[in-house]
Structure formats: C-alpha cells, structure tokens
Amino acid sequence: MKKAAEKSTAKSTPAGKTASAKSTAKKAAPAKKAAPAKKAAPAKKAAPAKSAAVEAAAVKGAAVKKAAPPKKVTVAPEKAIAAVRKASPVKAVAPKPPKGESNTALVRRARRINRELAEVYPYAHPELDFENPFQLLVATVLSAQTTDLRVNQTTPALFAKYPTPEDLAAADPEEVEEILRPTGFFRAKTKSVMGLSKALAEEFDGEVPGRLEDLVKLPGVGRKTAFVVLGNAFGRPGITVDTHFQRLVRRWQWTEETDPDKIEAAVGALFPKSEWTMLSHHVIFHGRRICHARKPACGACPIAPLCPAYGEGETDPEKAKKLLKYEKGGFPGQRLKPPQSYLDAGGTPAPPLAGR
C-alpha cells in the first residue's frame, strides 16, 4: 500500500511544482481531483477489522464467563436428590410459591383446589382391582408403562394361578411371562413380581410389610408404589407422584420441582398429612379425565378460576366437553362440570382470578 501511495504522489509532483506559482493556481485544479486517492478508503476499512477482532475476543471472553456457572450446577442436583431420598420427604424441600404469590396464598389456593376436586370426584380411589395388599403391590408394579385397565384385564388370571407370594415365587418364569405379556415389558415385570414375591416369602413370612423402608427394598418397588400400598392397603398417608400428578401440580404452580421426590416433599408441605392419600387420588383422577397432557379441557374444568395455566387447552365449552374422558359407567355422585359459582352468564368457566 505504501509503494502504491508513493507512486501516486510521484506522479502528482509536477502538478505540485506548478501549484507553487500564484499565476498557475488555477492549473493546479487537476491535482485537487486526485484528492479522492488520498482518502485511502481501503486503509480506513481495515480499522474495523481490528475492532471486529477485539469484539470477537470480547464475545469469546463473555461466552467463557457465561459457560462457567453450568459446571457448578451439574453437581448440585445429584447431591440434593440424594439428600431428599434419605431424608423425610416433607422436611427435605419447602414449597416455593409462584412469582407474585405468597406462601400463605399458595397454601389456600392449593387446598381450595383439592376441596373442589373432592366434590367432583367423591369416590376417587385407586383404579387397580385388588383384594389384599399382595395383589395391590403386584398390580401397582405391573401398571408401569401401561394402563390400569390393561392391568385389571391381566391380573385375574395371574392371581388365580398364583394366589400367594410363595406360589408366585416358585412359578415357572416362562408361564408368568406369557400371562404378563399384554402389559408390556413383560420380562422385566416378571422378574420384579417374582423377585418381590420371593423376598416376601423369605423375609416377611409371606406378608406385605407396612413400612416404607421395608417396601422400597423389594424388587421393582419405589416410593410411588410404596405409597400406593401404604395409603390404600394400610391406611397410612402418602403422596403418589405419577406422571399425572407431576404434570398437574406444575401446571397449578404448586411447585417448580421436576424430581418426583422433591415434588412429593414440596406438595406434602402444603397439605395436612391426613389428606395426602386422597389428594393423590383427586389429582390423578383429574389428570386422566380433564387435564390431559397434550390438550387439557380448560373450558370444562371445574377449577378453571384457580388454575394459572387456564387457556393452555381448549377453552370453548362445547369443544372442551368432547375432550372429557369418562370411565365405563362413571361413579355415583360424580359430576364433570364446573360448580355454578364458577360459571358466568354464558355458562362458561370464569377466567382465573388472583387470590380466589
């Protein structure tokens, strides 16, 4: 670039000599036309290249600074989850109210939702067929990754052939697999139900234990299954955190947690312990019938005024009614329509109101 500039100046020197005389000042005008060459546009454009490099370095530096926090966060959840599993679920995690809602308001809203659901589903109960704790335990294990209806169609043949833990523990695995095939994952489920049956026969004299710490040691039995058995076979309160429960309590902003143990702890702190079992039934019933995963029937929901997620699903009452899922025959006293106090003049649920 410098050589080019020197050549251009060398060519312009004659004009510069003539420009020294006043009489030839007008003749120096052509030299002024050469001024655009002095602008050195390429040289000025090169300056942004330096700033771009500086900006790129700054962006990289900022990216490195922003990327640092996630490395610290990846370890914390594992420790937190481990601590919750070892500790009492209620004491482990305190409920975290949504933004703009006090803890007191959250507790009141959550309990009101449960009261309304109790009116809608007065006969809410575990939808698995069973006659004793052993049958409930096995049926709950089999209900993973399938419907309760499918389990209820499968267990009669299983319990007719293997009525006790001793019988099932001594069964032929291939025969059990053939019976459980319709439930899916039948090999793994066969291993679980035969394993827990053997443990019951050898360690608990063929009886299902009534303590959480004993139940969770059985093959295929986690906290969710244990609380189903404790709450419905022994009358001991427990929260059943299945997929429906997780989905609904997050929609209602009862908690922002995603880990089942932390959800159990946070929601349990909102309610008296005596209500935990029926609370689970109410929420699960509602999730299966109205508040669906993909398209909730918001326009036919009895708790629409209390739900922060109102509007995520179909709000038109007529269209929403078509999304409702009724059980065969229904239940005595069951009603799947909003209470009159929540209906406006047009018969549609009123929108959510803060503080109701």
242 in catalytic set: yes
Q: Which residues contact 249 (CB under 8 A, 6 or more apart)?
A: 255, 263, 267, 283
| 343 phi/psi in degrees, rounded to 5 | -95, 140
Q: What is the token pair recorded at 154? A: 């499968």
Catalytic residue among 189, 224, 261, 262: 224
Residues 134-155: b if buried by 16+ CB within 10 A, e if exposed: bbbbbbbbbbbeeebeebbebb
Does the active-site annotation cover 224? yes
Catalytic residue, candidates 129, 148, 214, 242: 242
What is d(CA 60, CA 55) in angstroms, rounded to the nearest whole number? 8
Q: Which two tokens stand for residue 261?
A: 């143990």
* Token output for 265: 């702890």
Residues paired with 266 in a beta bridge: none
Q: How far apart are CA 302 and CA 119, in angstroms?
A: 10
Residue 240 backbone phi and psi in degrees, to 5 = -95, 105
**Which residues are the active-site residues?**
224, 242
